[in-house]
Amino acid sequence: MLGGARLPKDHLRIEAIGQIDELNAVLGIAIAFSEDEKNNGLLRQIQKDIFVIGANFSGGGKVKLQKHITPARVTEIEHEIDKIEEQISPLHHFVLPGGSKTASLLHLARTVCRRAERSVVALSRKEKVDPQVIIYLNRLSDLLFVMARLVNRKKRVEETMWKGS
């Protein structure tokens, strides 16, 4: 931990830090497979946000860092979602994750993001957690979902709709 504090490996804070770190790694893989520099720029900025979140958790509330996730940053993520939704068809059924390699990796990043969000929520029940982090992770998973759908549309890969059994 920043500042020299030590926690057991199974501490909720360590679990949240690990989930955040895994999310950042999966985003890095998605960037490596993507050829869309505009999306890659957005994903790199998100990686920086995720690093800020991890660093703040590593401080354990005892080390004050200058960077935080702000409500304005959450709003920027929501605007990105809105812009992408204008380019894809509305959903009337569930979409099975997959499609192109990049879209599949974005779907994987979405699921890792949801798991990270659950870890942060669990931590927030025991310790003070910046509520903007939870909101950010929630909106980020939605952004990753619509990004995956847009990638498939641009690559002309048909989505597999799940309509029940």
Structural domains of the chain in order of their starting residue, each with its CATH number: 2-162 (1.20.1200.10)
Give the dihedral sign, CA 150/100/44/55.
positive
User: Which pLDDT score is estimated for 4?
Assistant: 57
Mean pLDDT of 80-86: 96
Window from 17-21, 96-100, 114-118 with minimum mean pLDDT? 96-100
Region 114-124 average pLDDT: 96
Do residues 116 and 46 touch, judged by C-beta distance below 8 A?
A: no
Threshold 0.85, pTM exceeds: yes
Each residue of 136-156: pLDDT tens digit? 999 999 999 999 999 999 988
pLDDT in tens, 4-48: 566 657 778 888 999 999 999 999 999 999 989 999 999 999 999
CA dihedral 120, 107, 46, 136 (to 10 degrees): -40
Q: Write down the pLDDT at residue 69.
A: 86
Helices marked H in the chain — which ranges? Answer: 12-33, 37-58, 71-85, 101-124, 131-154
- Does the pLDDT value for residue 63 go beyond 50? no
User: Which residues 6+ apart lie within 8 Å of 62 measured at CB?
Assistant: 3, 5
Residues in the chain: 165
